[in-house]
Amino acid sequence: MSQFGDLYSQYYDLLYSDKDYKAEVEYVDILIKDISEKPKYLLDMGCGTGKHAELFCDKGYIVHGVDLSKEMLKIAEKRRASKEDKLTFCCSRIQELNLDKKFDVVVSLFHVMSYQTSNNELTEAFKVVKKHLKNKGLFIFDFWYGPAVLTNLPVIRVKRLENDRIKVTRIAEPILHAQKNVVDVNYDLFIEDKETRKIFEIKELHKMRYFFDTELELICDQIGFEVIHKYEWMSKKSPDFSSWNVVWVLRS
């Protein structure tokens, strides 16, 4: 089954119900407004089910979300109620996106850039971001940080959640490919219908790339981005060997 297939997308929000989307949007909004005066138009690359996009809209941005998954976008479209003129979505690969419009800010959150596992995919993604940014526009993205990944190696993790209708158990088994800077995350997802007791099983492979400063700096130089900030995610602390999740703020 492909990444974020139909069943997975239906239960995606439950799986990440413990994720503080509101705090994350507050954090990114501060990063934006520390640098940019009166930003208005925001592009959310890899928007998933649209939770970040909706919250940015509530912050006053006019938001367009992009995702590869039609199933995710079906859920995202429901968030447009009463926001039709301020919140829109479309389906596209990042590398093929061509909106013929420029934005004040592009965000790509929840490790979307780490899904760009080849040098070509990553470089083309950065080119597309640059194409869609106004002069001096900001690009904010988070990713898996190589020094931390190799210091605290990925391990098997089990996550269990439930609501009124279902129980979900997800087992994540990682395989590290150190020479490629990639972790294969093998997901086993078990979804139990509480009423019928029927259990569905979904297997998925998510390839995640971790990055180092020098390779990202090289791409920034090639594409024409200025690195403004490097922080540990959800803080303003410099990344270190414990910072699995890092955020960069770039300016075009």
Question: Any idea what the CATH number is for the domain that residue 192 is in?
Answer: 2.20.130.10
Tens of pLDDT, residue by residue over 34-80, are 999 899 999 999 999 999 999 999 999 999 999 999 988 999 999 99
Quote the pLDDT of residue 164: 85
Q: Are residues 94 and 20 in the same domain?
A: yes
User: Is 1 within the bounds of a domain?
Assistant: no
User: Is 139 within the bounds of a domain?
Assistant: yes
Tens of pLDDT, residue by residue over 4-36, are 445 566 677 788 888 899 999 999 999 999 999
Q: Which domain holds residue 134?
A: 6-145+212-251
Quote the pLDDT of residue 197: 92
Q: Are residues 76 and 166 in the same domain?
A: no
Rounded to whole angstroms, how far apart are CA atoms 32 and 53? 15
Q: Are residues 164 and 137 in the same domain?
A: no
Q: Are residues 140 and 161 in the same domain?
A: no
29-49 as b/e: b if 16+ CB within 10 A: bebbeeebeebebbbbbbbbb
Quote the pLDDT of residue 194: 86
User: Is 189 within the bounds of a domain?
Assistant: yes
User: Is 16 within the bounds of a domain?
Assistant: yes
User: Is 174 within the bounds of a domain?
Assistant: yes
- Check which CATH number belongs to the domain holding 220 and give it: 3.40.50.150
Quote the pLDDT of residue 207: 97
Angle subtended at Cα 241 by Cα 239 and Cα 244, rounded to the nearest 5 degrees: 70
Q: Are residues 28 and 99 in the same domain?
A: yes
Q: How far is CA 237 from the centre of its chain?
A: 21
Tens of pLDDT, residue by residue over 148-183, are 999 999 999 999 988 888 889 999 999 999 999 999
User: Is 119 within the bounds of a domain?
Assistant: yes
Q: Is the pLDDT of residue 140 over 70?
A: yes
State the maximum Cα–Cα separation within the chain, in Å, rounded to a whole number. 56
**Residue bearing the bigger pLDDT, 211 or 9:** 211
Quote the pLDDT of residue 3: 47
Q: What type of residue sits at position 67?
A: D
Rounded to whole angstroms, how far apart are CA atoms 65 and 42? 9
Q: Are residues 22 and 76 in the same domain?
A: yes
Q: Are residues 216 and 100 in the same domain?
A: yes
pLDDT confidence tier of residue 200, bands split at 50, 70 and 90: confident
Quote the pLDDT of residue 159: 93
Q: What is the mean pLDDT of the chain?
A: 94
Q: Are residues 157 and 197 in the same domain?
A: yes
With pLDDT > 90 as the criterion, what percentage of the chain qualifies?
A: 83
Q: Are residues 194 and 128 in the same domain?
A: no
What's the domain count of the chain?
2
User: Is 156 within the bounds of a domain?
Assistant: yes
Rounded to whole angstroms, how far apart are CA atoms 213 and 128? 21
Quote the pLDDT of residue 202: 86
Tens of pLDDT, residue by residue over 79-115, are 999 999 999 999 999 999 999 999 999 999 999 999 9
Q: Are residues 76 and 157 in the same domain?
A: no
Q: Work out the average pLDDT over 174-203.
A: 93
Q: Work out the average pLDDT over 201-218.
A: 96
Q: Are residues 185 and 64 in the same domain?
A: no
Q: Which residues pair with 140 in a beta bridge?
A: 107, 249
Q: Are residues 189 and 65 in the same domain?
A: no
Rounded to whole angstroms, how far apart are CA atoms 167 and 201? 12
pLDDT confidence tier of residue 120, bands split at 50, 70 and 90: very high
Q: Which two tokens stand for residue 202?
A: 């979904």
